[in-house]
Amino acid sequence: MTVSTKLTAAKRRSRRDEILEIAVGLFASRGYHGVSMDDIGTAAGVTGPALYHHFTGKEAMLAAALKPVSEGLLSGGQSCVEACDGDSSRALGELVDFHVEFALANPAVIALHLHELDRLPEEPRREVRRLQRQYVEVWVAVLTQVRPALSAGEARVLAHAAFGLMNSTPFLGGEVDRARRAVLLRAATLAALMG
């Protein structure tokens, strides 16, 4: 990629995306109810009412933050498995690497999922939950191939335990550098899945 291509890609980030990132950070640190539209506007450098040009309200911001994450995890997980062409052991390693990278890059989004998902209106919440269940089933399918003695229910328990490990990133301090955190999270997750 050339420098000009990189600059063009960087410019494509919309003001809406910037505002959404600011809102996610505020929701994650102060809680959904602890943040007003004016707070978001102040942090983004716009008036609260100007935010309504991009979002109909806080619920719309929350939905815009959570649904694409679940869609991205599902499509990314499916791509990991497809790229491994039937090698389930390799697919499991790729899934772990993919999710660890996601978790390290998005601790605020994970915190938002953990604490604020129930704030969504019913329909978007159901859609996010559906996408999450599909993502879990990608892991279950791989785990039951790698460990045929596991039932689907047992594999589901292990997948959720693995997500708990990997999604601990909002609670990790900065005393260990990012690369080492990735190594530790990967090793702990694989040990939990294969133990």
pLDDT, tens digit, 9 for 90 and up, residues 55-85: 988 889 989 888 999 999 999 999 999 999 9
Does 6 reside within a domain? no
Residue 3 has pLDDT above 50, yes or no: no
Does 1 reside within a domain? no
Q: What is the pLDDT of residue 12?
A: 65
- DSSP H or E segment with residue 63: helix 58-83
Question: What mean pLDDT comes out for the span 15-36?
Answer: 89
Q: How confident is the model at residue 15 (pLDDT cuts 50, 70, 90)?
A: confident
Does 156 reside within a domain? yes
Instruction: Tell me how many helices (H) and strands (E) the chain has.
Output: 10, 0
- DSSP H or E segment with residue 137: helix 122-146
Does 4 reside within a domain? no
What is the CATH classification number for the domain harbouring 150? 1.10.357.10
Does 188 reside within a domain? yes
**What distance in Å separates the CA atoms of residue 167 and residue 169, rounded to the nearest whole number?**
5
**What distance in Å separates the CA atoms of residue 10 and residue 29, rounded to the nearest whole number?**
26
Does 8 reside within a domain? no
Q: What is the pLDDT of residue 28?
A: 84
Share of the chain above pLDDT 90, in %: 63
Between 48 and 20, name the one with better pLDDT: 20
Tokens 């499509």 belong to residue? 75
pLDDT digits (tens, 9 = 90+) for 129-159: 999 999 999 999 999 999 999 999 999 999 9
- Count of alpha carbons within 13 Å of 55, Cβ hemisphere only? 24
Does 17 reside within a domain? no
Closest CA to 25 of 45, 39, 11: 39
Does 122 reside within a domain? yes
Q: How confident is the model at residue 163 (pLDDT cuts 50, 70, 90)?
A: very high
Between 183 and 5, name the one with better pLDDT: 183
- The total number of structural domains in the chain stands at 1
Q: How confident is the model at residue 49 (pLDDT cuts 50, 70, 90)?
A: confident
Print the domain residue range for 142: 58-194
Could you tell me where the beta strands, DSSP code E, fall in the chain? Answer: none
**What distance in Å separates the CA atoms of residue 22 and residue 19, rounded to the nearest whole number?**
5
